[in-house]
Amino acid sequence: MDAGPPPNLFKKALAEGRTQIGLWCSMGNCTATEVLAHAGYDWLLIDTEHAPTDVPMVVDQLRALTGGTASAVVRPAWNDAVLVKRILDTGAQTVLVPYVQSAEEAARAVAATRYPPNGNRGVALIHRASGYGARIEYQKRADTEMCVLVQLETKAALDALEAIAAVPGIDGLFIGPSDLSASLGHLGHPAHPEVQAAIADACARARRARKPLGILAPVEDDARRYLEMGFGYIALGSDIGLLRQAAVRLRRAFEGVGS
């Protein structure tokens, strides 16, 4: 085993400008995640904000990704150093931090992923990320493989896009279309022209700032449009959404049969 952390292939891909296609994992189920791990996606998001997923379930899903094509991205429930610390100790190297609205909040997210003196991540010698102590250089080299993505989910966050993008250690930005639509006064309507105009403007500004921008786009036409705009990484949907769509489509094929 190498003495340090494994290379962060997702971070490397973003830095090289390679588009990354992903999927959301909201079930908290390691079997579902294991199936998706071998489906050809570049990254899978393990969600702990809007999913009933706790740290032991994150560990199970990280194990389920072993041997697959997808890199793990984990979303903590909040921009909280304790939550981030626990996720990183499981072996996660990329976090998507929700509801970041300023450069100060972005800097706080980065600090939670760095050991002192570069940040305030708590230090433990034996955990899954360090190979339970086998990666003896883990603490010295972990910071270099950390990837921090922050979600811009409000008008205030979009107004601060350039300042957030300029924070050292921020590897990518991410638009949260549902919360953004609510912030702009269009709750439940991310397709509203005002919301879509704000998303297009954010993409153009992120490109000028040379910072990869991501988004969740479960509608295929939206995803293709965002790719044409220049989004660097996109989640095409979620495990729950795929299950429901397939189940409804199959049942409708037998309309009129049964009770």
Chain segment 52-62, per-residue pLDDT in tens: 999 999 999 99
What does the chain come to in residues? 259
Q: For residues 248 and 193, what is the distance between their CA atoms, to the nearest angstrom?
A: 29
Nearest-CA neighbor of 237 among 210, 215, 259?
215
pTM over 0.95: yes
Task: Give the span between the Cα atoms of 216 and 96, in whole angstroms.
Answer: 12
Q: Which of 125, 46, 117 is nearest to 87 (CA)?
A: 46
* CA angle (163 as vertex; 159, 169 as ends), nearest 5: 135
pLDDT (0 to 100) of residue 1: 58
DSSP at 144? G
What's the confidence (pLDDT) of residue 185?
97
What DSSP designation does 86 have? Answer: H
Q: What is the pLDDT of residue 259?
A: 75
Tell me the Cα Rg of the chain.
19
User: For 9-146+218-252, which CATH superfamily applies?
Assistant: Phosphoenolpyruvate-binding domains (3.20.20.60)
* C-alpha span between 25 and 238 (Å, rounded): 6
- Which residues are annotated as catalytic? 50
Which parts of the chain have pLDDT scores under 50? none
Q: Which one, of 227, 209, 207, 208, lies nearest residue 217 by Cα? A: 227
Q: Which residue type does 201 have?
A: D
Q: Where are the domains of the chain?
A: 9-146+218-252
CB atoms within 10 A of CB 89: 18
